[in-house]
Amino acid sequence: LVDEAIEEINLAKNSTTLNNIRVKYLGKKGLVTSLMKKLKELPQEERPKFGALVNDAKNTIQAKINDKFQEISALEKMQKYEKLAVDISLPGARKDIGHLHILSQVQKELEDIFISMGFEVVEGPEVEDTWHNFDALNTPDWHPARDVQDSFYFTEEKLLRTHTSPVQVRTMLKRKPPLAIVSPGRVYRRDYDSTHLPMFTQMEVLYIDQNVTIKHLKFTLEEMAKRIFGENSKVRLRPSFFPFTEPSYEIDVWFGDTWLEILGAGMVDPNVFKNVGYDPTKWSGFAFGLGLERVAMVKYGIKDIRDFIRNDIKFLENY
Ligand code: PHE
């Protein structure tokens, strides 16, 4: 009987089976217990011997069960913890959080560059009047930019600003020189193809002080180019025309292997100073304006300007 019990105990794989075995042998109606009960039926002289035998059997089985129980419960504990265990070496699941649009990033980068040079960021309205957008900026009545073919008009006198230069006008009217400001913002023109959008983003820079020369302009442009396009970039000035600057320049930036035309610049025209009540014999200044989309396209090799407004998540995630 003991051998049989031991064999069963050895085979037991979990605590439930083991408990069943215990009940089978040592329970109230168990095999060992019923042997005990037979004791009374035996003749007096055989009882002690038999009793000792059954007791031995009981103790042996109980001890064996106890050992096995220890073993099994340790194992079951292990299995339970293995199931609950967390592999702390696995990489965490990343939450996809949004980020600034590439244009906002470029705008911020440029703002930071100019702020570090002592400029202040100023903003103004996108709905302008023709005086701030054209007249104050010395733009003659016959200028093509004034044409309804080129600009978005609400009325004869109200339009969507075609550049952020009117912000400079508003600031000059409000303050006295010297002045060092940058004005980023959306501007509107009737244009649409792979390099033009009817709504795009400009940043204009204006610096006014006494004895400002083209050298100051060139230095500022070079500093800006180096900081956004890299140490090796160079800047080239080509004669051009804008109503509000004299002389005026197209600015090319050397970028790796080609010259790219990315901005317009010049020395503030004395007529602009007169229009805002600054003395042109006392004050001088430079101004330049750049398209942020153009800067981002050059910097990141983006081919189609329309990508900026397509909201294609695959495109946006790249930057
Ligand atoms: N306002 C001009 C434009 O929109 C850019 C410019 C700014 C040119 C300042 C010269 C000086 O094209």
Q: Give me the chain's average pLDDT, please.
A: 92
Question: If pLDDT is split at 50, 70 and 90, which confidence band does 12 have?
Answer: confident
Q: Which residues contact 112 (CB under 8 A, 6 or more apart)?
A: none
Comparison of pLDDT for 279 and 318, the residue scoring more: 279
ipTM associated with this complex: 0.96
Helix (H, G, I), strand (E, B) or coil at 141: coil
Q: How many CA atoms lie within 13 A of 16 on its CB side?
A: 0
Measured by CA distance, the residue closest to atom 9 of ligand 1 is: 288
Assess whether pLDDT exceeds 90 at residue 160: yes
Q: Evaluate if residue 262 carries a pLDDT over 90.
A: no
pLDDT greater than 80 at residue 256: no
Nearest Cα to 70, choosing from 131, 7, 154, 9?
9
- Ligand 1 centroid–CA 287 distance in Å is 7
Mention every residue, 6+ apart, whose C-beta is less than 8 A from residue 249.
Answer: 237, 238, 239, 240, 264, 265, 266
- What pLDDT, on the 0 to 100 scale, is given for residue 39? 80
pLDDT digits (tens, 9 = 90+) for 83-102: 888 888 888 888 878 899 99
Residue carrying structure tokens 């073993």: 71
Place 155 in a pLDDT band, splitting at 50, 70 and 90: very high
Strands, DSSP E only, in 130-268?
A: 158-160, 179-188, 199-209, 234-242, 245-255, 258-268
- Whether the predicted pLDDT of 234 surpasses 80: yes
Beta carbons within 10 angstroms of residue 64's beta carbon: 18
Q: Among 162, 163, 183, 205, name the best residue to mutate to test ligand 1's pocket (greatest count of ligand atoms within 8 A of Cβ).
A: 163
Confidence of residue 144 (pLDDT cuts 50, 70, 90): confident
Asked if residue 236 has pLDDT above 80, the reply is yes
Q: Summarize the chain as % helix, strand, coil (round to 5).
A: 45, 20, 30
